[in-house]
Amino acid sequence: MSKDYDKHMLRERAERAPDITDEMWSQVSEHNRMIVDEFFESSSHLSKTSISQYKSALRIFFWWVHVKLKDKPMYNIKKRDFLKYVSHLKDKGFSSSGLKLKKSAVSSLCNFIENVLSDDEEFKEYEKFRNFCRGLPAQSSNVVYEKIPMTREEYDKVMEYLKEKEDYLGMAFHATSFNVGGRRNEIRNLKSEIATYENEKDSEGNELPFVLSHIVYGKGRDGGKPLKFMINNEAMEYIRLWLEQRRYENEYIFTVKYAGNNSQIGLSWANNFCQNIVSIVLDRRFTMHNYKASAITHLLEQGVDMKAVSKYVAHHENSATTEKFYDLRSDEEEKNSIFK
């Protein structure tokens, strides 16, 4: 049974953005709907996830234009109009990440119009169009929940629960997510062939305590950034145990049986696992994003170099990103030593 955790909240949760139904969307001006269609027909650089998010965000924006600006055509929308829209979202209590996504969707549409449609004779009304999202005041960041990493003791507590339930899929997923540091979509795309891989070796031929995965595509344009994950012996132990127990073949490690078919887990499966199992065992809200932060924090606490963790586990171009968003080590001891 799921449970909604309000502890560790730093601000009130925003209202959920309204779903713009197809019927509502049909009421938006034909011109604005046409511009959105043109944008997505030329957006092969966007991932499937980004396309889904941008479609929702643009529907929300143009529904607001329909209601508040009387369906003003895109070429007549000004910067002051968009500032009113942003203020509307802020008044609804949206987080900085929610605002950023909605602003990014509109800005991407504006860039497409400015860079592509403005030179097209069929769209003469956009000849002098400029991105009205450009040059807006910077948006301060805020978070809803305090980020708390999973400790090793908490990891063991969840694992004991899964063992009692004989949940072999859960054990493998839990061990992999905690030790590997991948995002949910990267974890779900790990393939069963990994179980046959041999451990990596150093320059002297000594066996190292991990295998290196096949290429998995992470976030990014044009299909995503190609990544290889280091999967340690602990995660490999539970992966092999799960594959042995499931007794059927599948390209992917993390699979479920549904309606008689064996299929790769979906993104919602990972969310439900965190919400309905991990959060309940820990008695606090825990997400897949917390798994990645926990993996990174655990390695840093063990003394592993920040640059190495950033490059090979977090897969960040700059270690400053890892330190800012994923290093959740406590600074209590450092703080308490100041006036000794």
134's enclosing H/E stretch is: none
Q: What is the DSSP string of 145-182?
A: B---PPPHHHHHHHHHHHHHTT-HHHHHHHHHHHHH--
Q: Is 183 a catalytic residue?
A: yes
Q: How far apart are CA 279 and CA 332, in angstroms?
A: 25
Catalytic, out of 59, 66, 174, 183: 183
Beta strand extents in the chain (DSSP E only)? 210-212, 216-217, 226-227, 230-232, 255-258, 261-264
Of 31, 72, 219, 240, catalytic: 219
Exactly one of 79, 92, 289, 329 is catalytic; name it. Answer: 289
Q: Distance (Å, rounded) from C-alpha 300 to C-alpha 303?
A: 5
Residue 315 known to be catalytic: yes
Could you tell me if 227 and 315 are in contact, meaning their C-beta atoms sit under 8 angstroms apart?
yes
In the structure encoding, which two tokens stand for residue 263, read together? 């299929």
Active site residue: 102, 284, 298, 315, which one? Answer: 315
Interatomic CA distance for residues 183 and 89, integer angstroms: 28
C-alpha 323/C-alpha 302 separation (Å) is 15
Q: What residues act catalytically?
A: 183, 219, 289, 315, 326
